[in-house]
Amino acid sequence: MRYRTTNALGWLLFASLVIALGAGCGGSKKTSSTTAPATTGGTTTSAVPGVNSKLASEVPAKDKSKGTLIVAADASYAPNEFIGADGHTVVGMDPDLAKALADVMGLKTKVVNATFATIIPGLSSGKYDLGMSSFTDTKARQKVVDFVTYFSAGTSFYVKTSGGPTINTLADLCGHKVAVERGTTQQMDAAAQNTKCRKAGKPGVTVLVYTDQSAANLALASGRAQVGMADSPVAAYIVKKSNGQFKLSGKTYGTAPYGIAIPKNNGMARPILGAVKELIAKGTYKTILTKWGIQSGAITNPTINGATS
């Protein structure tokens, strides 16, 4: 799900796991990153296409007059969204895309760190304008918010390299302790598998739920959990930066689209869809994904409310 430049290097190295996870917890302290169009952020400014006047004219008057979109992200999910080396700026693929999308629409962004499970309620209440935090676009979530799809990812398992169980599928979770982030599809999948295990007369799944991915990773590192679950690019990144402590187990399952979460029927979905298409057409989208090492999840046909399940 992400790679990094030197400003994030070592964030998940196991030697500094406890410190890094404590500093990078989504919701542990509310941090933010504010950017102006075509000037700052993780994107390469030369690749940013600039304001598209047609799309800018489609932005609802309320958002246009405000000028700055408040974008919520749980900054514990590197390389998609995490706390940078300065200890407070939210960086990663999602913040970079948010800045580029805002530029196309003639707006600014303020990316704020928020606990994952609070983001969709925050959109409904008007606290946030967008949620860009590796949200899987699901039909259940579409009842509350609209989505514009922009990426594709599945779920992967990871375990301790030494002594970790072999987990090939969800069925192999029976009898194991699994660490997941609250409000994620992984939490739902693990809970559903617990029911299946028990109905089959097998030991259940102990689902350990944490407020952010950093705490879930720490549970696995400390031995409280035996299995970790996360979106495929994130799991791969966690393993890569664990200094050999973790390894992937089994195959990725449940590939589905990520969506930019938007308050239901507020008029922003169509200009955002247009902006995503603009970034794809002009190469900015590919530049951002390549920067974070997650170009394998690129899509070519973004849609509004494109949930597959």
pLDDT above 70: residue 224: yes
pLDDT band for 48, please (50, 70, 90 cuts): low
Edge to edge, what strands does the sheet with 145-160 contain?
Answer: 32-35, 108-113, 68-73, 130-131, 246-263, 145-160, 227-231, 177-181, 206-210
3-state secondary structure of 230: strand
Residue 277: predicted pLDDT: 98
Of 254, 253, 255, 258, the closest CA to residue 302 belongs to 258
pLDDT above 60: residue 2: no
In Å, what is the CA distance from 253 to each residue of 28, 65, 160, 281?
30, 43, 20, 29
Contact 303, 83 (CB under 8 A): no
Pairing relation of β-strands 227-231 and 177-181?
parallel
Phi, psi of 100, rounded to the nearest 5 degrees: -70, -40
**Helix (H), strand (E) at residue 110:** strand 108-113
Residue 273: predicted pLDDT: 98
Residue range 103-156, pLDDT digits in tens: 999 999 999 999 999 999 999 999 999 999 999 999 999 999 999 999 999 999
CA atoms of 198 and 175, how far apart (whole Å): 10
3-state secondary structure of 278: helix
Contact 56, 106 (CB under 8 A): yes
Average pLDDT in the chain = 87
- Where do the domains of the chain lie, and which CATH numbers do they carry? 6-153+256-297 (3.40.190.10), 155-254 (3.40.190.10)
Residue 32: predicted pLDDT: 56
Q: Is the bond into 79 cis (omega within 30 degrees of 0)?
A: yes
pTM of the complete model? 0.78
CA atoms of 103 and 122, how far apart (whole Å): 23
